[in-house]
């Protein structure tokens, strides 16, 4: 389906997890409730129990244990499932819920051998998407025997010093962005289209949950409480293009893929080339031709989007700005946690213990909450930590 088919179905085929997601819907939604309530209130029925799947690495399992014991994270997990469950398109709803329940990187199945993975790395290097010496593991981080690296609900939202860098941070980040996407969609409709729902809220909510999902693969935990180093792809974080590839492999249309790949830059003001690059890279990873698939077209100067970008691409970009505050908060909170750690029995110089303690405190209190306390002074900051750990 072409990008300008704005009201066409987002799924070109039944998703692999569609049936499982549909079966799980009663756990997450109450159909009679309004979307506004679903987006701001915890659902009446619980989200799935936060039990780590078998086969996780010791570090990923440790992080999952932290997230499962955080009231802050568990509350927002329930709200994330509720918001995903408010998507009105039944197939898209089932796909997104299925993805959150099982963020396994299906794109990896197309490359079962090391030779095939090296060939992909080399082909991407030839196009300038990755460095010639890029580690193959950057495209194919390790996963467990059941195909999952870590649960959606325990993954961090960014790298060690980035936004939401704690167990559960990915869910916190995606929920915020999905809420913002929904509000932007409503605001554009109210102001420019007389409330006629010209902007599809399903698409932008789904894209907000989708476009960072491969962070669960690229930002795994090391034993010392740091994270895997992310491979840049197309001059942006590799998770972005990997998530786009995952959307293609799971059966989404070019329209939806373009929307989610516009999160890091809108296709305007000279940035269309960035989105085009990410579309081409995602298509290569997914094993499809980006022109034949309908993502881009050839031009005299190179490539362009296949069709004029829908409004949802701009909403997708606008919604992905939780990092503006949260990166600043992390950069202020992380060193301050190290400064006060000895008051909580953390020995100076014990980097691993400090890292895991910081991950625990941040998961319990959030770096934004800790930053707010820090703006009130060091005593308030320490008091907020004590309250979180109590």
Helix (H, G, I), strand (E, B) or coil at 211: coil
Mean pLDDT score across all residues of the chain? 89
Closest CA to 219 of 139, 155, 134, 137: 155
pLDDT of 206 higher than 50: yes
Nearest Cα to 310, choosing from 256, 354, 362? Answer: 256
Residue 345 CB neighbour total at 10 angstroms: 8
Phi, psi at residue 198, to the nearest 5°? -70, -30
> Residue 64 corresponds to which tokens in the numbers above?
């999952």
What mean pLDDT do residues 98-106 have?
95
- What is the three-class DSSP state of 312? helix
pLDDT at 49: 79
> Per residue in 48-66, pLDDT tens?
779 999 999 999 999 999 9
Model confidence at 135, in pLDDT bands (50, 70, 90)?
very high
User: What is the helix, strand, coil percentage profile of the chain, to 5?
Assistant: 55, 5, 40
Q: Whole-angstrom Cα distance, residue 382 to residue 362?
A: 13
Q: What is the pLDDT of residue 124?
A: 98
Residue 37, SS3?
helix
What Å distances lie between residue 264 and 3, 16, 237, 325, CA to CA?
18, 27, 9, 16
Say whether pLDDT at 90 is over 70: yes
Question: What pLDDT shows up at residue 337?
Answer: 97
Q: What pLDDT is attached to residue 2? A: 37
pLDDT at 349: 83
How high is the pLDDT of residue 347?
A: 86
Mean pLDDT of the 320-328 span:
96
Question: What is the model's pLDDT at position 17?
Answer: 34
SS3 category, 174:
helix
Predicted local confidence at residue 205, as pLDDT: 98
Does 4 have pLDDT greater than 70? no
Model pTM?
Answer: 0.88
Residue 113, judged by CB atoms within 10 A of its CB (0-12, 13-18, 19+), counts as exposed
Predicted pLDDT of residue 348:
76
Residue 16 has pLDDT above 50, yes or no: no
Question: Left if phi > 0, otherwise alpha if psi is -120 to 50, otherwise beta: which for 33?
Answer: beta
pLDDT band, residue 84 (cuts 50/70/90):
very high
- Split at pLDDT 50, 70, 90, the class of 12 is very low
Let me know: does 175 contact 79? Beta carbons within 8 Å.
yes
pLDDT at 223 over 60: yes
Go through the chain and tell me how many residues it has: 390
With the C-alpha atoms ordered 4, 5, 6, 11, is the resulting torsion angle positive or negative?
A: negative
Q: Contact, 42 vs 236, CB < 8 A?
A: no
- Domain segments of the chain: what residues? 18-110+140-319, 323-389
The gap between the terminal CA atoms of the chain, to the nearest Å, is 53
pLDDT in tens, 328-379: 999 999 999 999 999 999 987 889 999 999 999 999 999 999 999 999 999 9
Task: Please determine, for residue 95, whether its predicted confidence score (pLDDT) is greater than 80.
Answer: yes
Phi and psi of 385, rounded to 5°? -65, -45
């Amino acid at each position: 389906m072409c990008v300008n088919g704005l009201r066409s179905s987002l799924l070109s085929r039944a998703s692999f997890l569609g049936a499982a997601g549909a079966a799980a819907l009663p756990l997450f939604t109450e159909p009679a409730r309004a979307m506004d309530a679903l987006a701001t209130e915890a659902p009446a029925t619980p989200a799935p129990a936060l039990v780590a799947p078998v086969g996780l690495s010791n570090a990923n399992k440790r992080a999952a244990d932290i997230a499962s014991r955080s009231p802050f994270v568990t509350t927002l997990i329930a709200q994330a499932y509720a918001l995903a469950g408010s998507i009105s398109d039944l197939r898209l709803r089932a796909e997104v819920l299925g993805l959150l329940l099982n963020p396994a990187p299906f794109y990896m199945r197309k490359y079962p051998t090391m030779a095939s993975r090296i060939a992909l790395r080399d082909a991407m290097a030839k196009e300038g998407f990755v460095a010639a010496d890029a580690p193959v593991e950057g495209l194919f981080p390790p996963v467990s025997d059941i195909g999952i690296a870590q649960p959606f609900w325990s993954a961090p939202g960014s790298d060690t010093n980035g936004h939401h860098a704690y167990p559960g941070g990915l869910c916190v980040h995606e929920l915020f962005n999905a809420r913002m996407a929904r509000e932007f969609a409503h605001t554009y409709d109210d102001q420019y289209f007389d409330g006629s729902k010209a902007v599809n809220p399903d698409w932008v909510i789904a894209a907000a949950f989708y476009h960072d999902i491969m962070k669960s693969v690229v930002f795994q935990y090391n034993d010392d409480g740091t994270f895997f180093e992310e491979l840049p792809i197309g001059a942006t974080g590799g998770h972005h293009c990997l998530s786009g590839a995952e959307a293609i492999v799971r059966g989404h249309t070019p329209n939806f893929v373009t929307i989610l790949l516009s999160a890091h830059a809108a296709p305007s003001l000279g940035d269309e080339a960035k989105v085009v690059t990410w579309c081409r890279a995602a298509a290569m990873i997914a094993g499809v031709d980006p022109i034949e698939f309908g993502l881009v077209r050839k031009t005299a100067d190179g490539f362009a989007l296949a069709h004029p970008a829908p409004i949802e691409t701009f909403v997708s970009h606008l919604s992905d700005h939780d990092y503006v505050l949260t990166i600043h908060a992390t950069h202020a909170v992380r060193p301050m946690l190290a400064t006060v750690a000895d008051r909580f029995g953390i020995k100076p110089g014990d980097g691993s213990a400090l890292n895991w303690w910081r991950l625990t405190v941040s998961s319990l209190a959030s770096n934004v909450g800790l930053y707010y306390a820090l703006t009130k002074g060091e005593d308030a900051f320490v008091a907020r930590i004590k309250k979180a750990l109590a």
